[in-house]
Amino acid sequence: MPDCIAELERRNLTHVVKTVSREKPFLGICIGLQLLFEFSEEGDCEGLSILQGEVKKFRPDRLGAFGEKFKVPHMGWNSVNFLGEHPVLQGLSNGERFYFVHSYHVQPTEKQIVLGTTEYCAEFPSVVVDENIVAVQFHPEKSQAAGLKLLSNFVSWKGA
């Protein structure tokens, strides 16, 4: 996270991202979701503060259904529970599986922006939507047909 913020600043793109994310459809993927928030435990770093909330490290504090310990990073396929409808989710089923690779997760202050959740160590937001912003914790580009559908829907979406 600190390296991403530093590179955005070095290239004078911080203002561009903040402006464009409010004016045009904007898709954040993985750290692209996390960068949108105010603060991250990864490097104790300030984010872009486009959305309110923080990014927290997974701290596995319980065992899985078969007594296994949760590993960090969370890596592999997992289900997303959609909490509502959105044009970017059209044609995707509740419980659709996507590919994840991450050690941190977002905790938005405004819970109404959470459009999808995933269970790993605990339930965490895996899809957020706010006006022209759609951001996902998973990697649609690595998620086969479901990921391609989400990306196709995003490209067709005109924004809020």
Q: List active site positions.
A: 30, 139, 141
The residues, any chain, with a CB within 8 Å of residue 96's CB and separated by 6 or more, are: 79, 80, 82, 146
149 HSE (CA, 13 A, CB side): 12
Two tokens, residue 81: 């529970």
Strands (E) in the chain, as ranges, are 26-29, 39-40, 45-46, 53-57, 74-79, 81-82, 97-102, 104-108, 114-120, 122-130, 133-136
| Residues facing residue 98 across a β-bridge | 78
